[in-house]
A and B are shown apart, each in its own frame.
Chain A
C-alpha cells in the first residue's frame, strides 16, 4: 500500500497551509485518492496544529446548529491528544473534501466518526511523544502525554507540547492501524460536563450567524419567488420598486427545471442598500406568476388521495413473513386504524440567509450551511466554476433541522452577487422561509392487526403512502428503502405474519428531510396502533408494547422478512436491532415516570419507544385537562445511544427533541392551496411557546461503552405517539390525525 508521507513542520508550525501543498514522496495518484476519500487519521495536520507557543488549533469540520458539535468534537480530539482545553483554539472548517464528510445530517457527527476523531488526536499525541523520546533517548513506551506536555515519569522530565512541535513535525504520521487510543478511563471528558464553547459569545450578542457577516460595499437582496414550486415569472414591472429609496436593481432569476433538487426557485431579486429598502422594494413589485404543474396542489384533497392510494393497493411488498392475508382472514378480531400526518416546516429561528462575493473568477460565500461541500458543488455548478474556485465559509447556524442542508439559498446569493458585481446578502423573510421550504412529507398509513380468540396478535399489515424525498430529487412516486427503514421495515415485531406495503404518492411540492425524517410519522402510527392493540387486548400499554417487541434478542433480516436494511449506513453486525435495548429504555422511562403508579396518582400517561439513527429512545408523556384545553405537564425521555461524548449536550438535545416533537404533534401543520403555502408566519404556523412546555422534562442517558448512535434526531419520534397515547388515556379520544389541535383544544 502506498503511504503518503507528509512534511508536518509547516502544518504544525503554521496556520493556513494546505496539506496537499506540502506533500513529499507521494504519487499524484495516491494524492488524488487521498483527496477524494481521505483517511482522516493519516492527515492529522488537517485537523490539529500545535504552535511553538503551545497554542493548539483544532478543527471542527461539522456545522454547529445547537447540537453542540463545537463543544464536543474538538474536546474529544483534545482529550486524546492530552491538550489543556484552555489552550485550544477551535477553528471552523470551510467546505473542503480534505475534511472527509462534513454533511451535518443524519445525527452522525459522533456516531459516524467517533473513533476517527480519537485517532486523529492520538496520532498527534504519538508524534509529540516520539519527538520527546527521541530527544531524551528513552523508549517511546516510557513516555506519556497529558496536561499539554510529554512526561518521562522515570526521570521526572517533561517537555511542553509547544517545545516539541517543530521536532514532531519532522516525524512520520503513524499508520492508521498503529495508532493507539487511550484506555477509556484515561479520557478526562468522559461523563463530564464540558464547557459550552459558544455560550459566552451567544449571551453577549457577539456570536456570528449568517446574517451577521459584513463585507465592504455589501448590498442586500430580498427575492420574490414563484408561489408554486415549478412556477415562473409571467410578467413584471419594476418601476415602483426602483422608485423605493435605496433600491439599486431588480435581477430576474431563472425558474428551475425538474427535478428541482437543490436548485433555487427563480423569481425576482430586489437588490438594495439595506434590508428594509429591499423588503419595501419587493413589496412594491408588480409581478404575476405562471403556476406550472403544481398549481392545483391542495393538501386537504391530497389527504384523500393518499387514503385512496392506501385502498387501491401497494406499489410493492417490502416486508413479508408468514401469510398475513390468510391470518387476517381467519382472525377472531381485527383492529384497523388509519393515521394521517401533515406537512411541517423547519421554521429555524434564523431565516435562511447567505452572503456571496464573486470576483476575479472566484466565488466566496459565508452561510449557515449544514453541508458546506454540497453548497460548494451547487454554487460551482450554478456559476460554471470549478469547485476549487468556490470557498464556503460556515457561520453558526440559527437552527438547521435539515433545512440548511439544502443550498438553494446559497446559490441564490452567488447568482445575485455575480449579476450585480458586488457582494450581496440574500435575506429570506419568515414568510419566505415558511412558504418556500422543503417540507416534511405528509403521510397516510393504514394498519390492520388480527387477534386470535385468546387475544394473541397473529397478523400485522401496514400500508404507507407519502410523497418521498426522492420525488424532489429524482421524481420518485413511492417511498424509498431509506425512508421505509425508518420505523417500518426495521421494526421488531413478535408477530408471525407480517406484510408491509408502500403505496404510490406523487410529490406536488418540494419534499425534504426534517429532523428525524420518516421516523416521525412512522413512529406516530406504529406506536399509536400498538397502544390501540393494548386496549383491544385488555392489556396494560407497557406490557402490551413489551409483548409486541417480544423477548430480548437480536432481530435478523429473516425474522423481519426484509431482503436488506440500509441501517443508517452501518452494518447490522456492528449495530444490530436489539430488542433488549428497547426494553431497557422503556422500563427505565416507565420507572422514572411512575408508570405503574399512574392510577393511584390520577395521572394520564402515554408511552412509546423507537429506534432511529442507531439509538433507542423511550418517552413517557403526562397530560391533564385545563380550562383552556389539554396541557402537557411533564415528560420523561430515556435514550440508549451507546457511547456518549458530551452528556450535557445529549440531555439538552433530548429535552429539545421533546419540545420540538410536542409542538409539531399539538400544533404543527403546513397547508397548501392552489399549489401555494397558506401559512406565512408564526401567527399561523404555530410552534410551542414557553407557557405550553411541560414544567419538567426529565432526560436520562443509559451509561454505555457501546458503539455510539445518533443523538440530534432519535429523541423526536417516540414523543408524538406517547403524547397521543396519553391523550387517549385522559379523554378516551384516539388521535389518528396530527396535529392534535385539529380535533381537540390545546392550551
Chain B
C-alpha cells in the first residue's frame, strides 16, 4: 500500500494535477475552488501555477499551454465558468494538444455564491465532457482520467465538484508524478485558427469525437453498476452517491463518474434490471431529462428538489419512506454573516448610510453592506456589475437620478471585470461616482494576492498595479484616495464627488483587518461619560453590545482598535485604542 494522507477535496485535486504531470495552471479565486491553486504552490518545482485577473484569462492561459504541448488546467467556481465560457466554447472546437482540464466547483445550497447554476448544463451547451468525483480519493484519481480522456478524444474536459466535496476531507492513497513529455509543436491552422472555414470542419470533427466518447462511456470503469436488491435502482454521481449508499444500502446503484456524455447502453441495461428507477442528482434534472427522452421511466425531481444540497435523511424519507425520529429544530434567531470587527468596509458604509446614499454593489465581503444595520447596498449581480449597472441607471434616468448613488467594488473585483465597466463610463461620458474599496487583497475567498498586491500566488514579489494612476490613465477626470477610517474626510470627499457632474473614482483604502495577525490594541469604554446616545452602535460592530442600563460594553477579544466608534462618540466615552487610559 502506498503512502496515505487525509486531504480536502481541493487539496486532492492539486495532488492529482501533480501526479498526472500537469505543467501549467491558471485560476481566479472563488469559493469553493480556491484551495486548489493554494495547494499547487507546494508542487512549484513541477507545476507553474498563477492567479489570473479573471477566469477568461485563466482558461486562455491553459489553452495556450495545451497548444504548446503540455498538460494544463484552469480552476474556477461555477459562476467563474460564465466568464471563462467564451474561450471554452471555441476550444471545444479546437480540441487539445496537451491534455486540458477545467476544474469547476458548483455550490448547491449557495454557501458563498449568487446563484446555483449547474455546470453540467453549461457543459452540454458546449459539448464538453464532464467527470464528477464523489470523495477526495476520486477527486485525485479523476484528474489523470480527465486528462487521459482529453488527449485520447481530443476534447477539453471539465472536472466538476461541489462545495461539499471541495471542502470535505477524506483518505487518499498517494502516487508518484508521471512526467509527460512535451508534445512537439507543429503548426496546424485548420485545428487552431477558428475562422469560419476551419471551424466548420472542426464542428463536424467534434461531434464525431463526442459520439465516440459516448460509446466508450458504456464500458468506462468510472461508470460502475453495483447490483444489489433489484426492487430499487438509483442512478447517481458525485456527493449524492454517498447519500444513496448511506440511506439505501440495499439498493442497486449505477454510479456515474463521467456525467457528460451519458452511457446510454449502460443506463438502458441497468434500468431493465430494476423494478423502480430513481435519479438522485443535486441541482438540475440533467440526467433525468436525457433518460426520460430515451423512453426510460424514472423518478427524480417530482420528489427531490432542484434547490440546495441533498442528504441521506432526505432520501430515507422520499425514497425509502422511513419516518425519521429527529427532534424538530428549535426556533432561534438567525446568525447571518457580518463584516468582521475592524473591517474598513464598515466605516465606508457607515458614511454612505449617514449621507443617505444608495450603493450599486458587487461580489465580495462588502456585499454584506446590504444587511442591517448598514443596508446601503441595493444591488448585487455578478463580478464588475456595480460600475456598469450604475452607468445604466444614469443613462435610463439622467444624471440627477444618480446624485445619491455610488458603485462600490473591491480591489480584486475591480481588476477582475470592473475595469471594462469603468472604461465604458469614461467613453460614454458618465458622471457617476465609483468607490473602489481597496483592502489590498481578495478577502472573501481567504486573502489571495492579485495584480495590485505586489505578490504572486507563490508569495514572490511582483509588479503592483497602482490603482490611482491606472484610473487616471483610463481617463477618469477625478480620482481621490481616502483612508477608509478617516470618516470626516471620507464624508467630505463623497459629498463633493457625488455632487460633481463628472465621472469620479474614490479609492477608500485600508488593508483587510484579517491581514495583520497577532493581538491588536482595543478601545476602552468609560461608562461614567456615556450619555447612552447609541451613536457607537450605528455601524453594527459585533464587538460593541448595549447593556441593560443603556451604556455599552466592548468585547476586548473581538475589538481590533479600528477607532471607528471613538470617532463617532461625541462625549469621549470611548478611549482610543493603543493610548493609555490615564
Do A and B come from the same complex?
no
Residues of chain B touching chain A, judged by Cβ–Cβ distance below 8 Å, are none
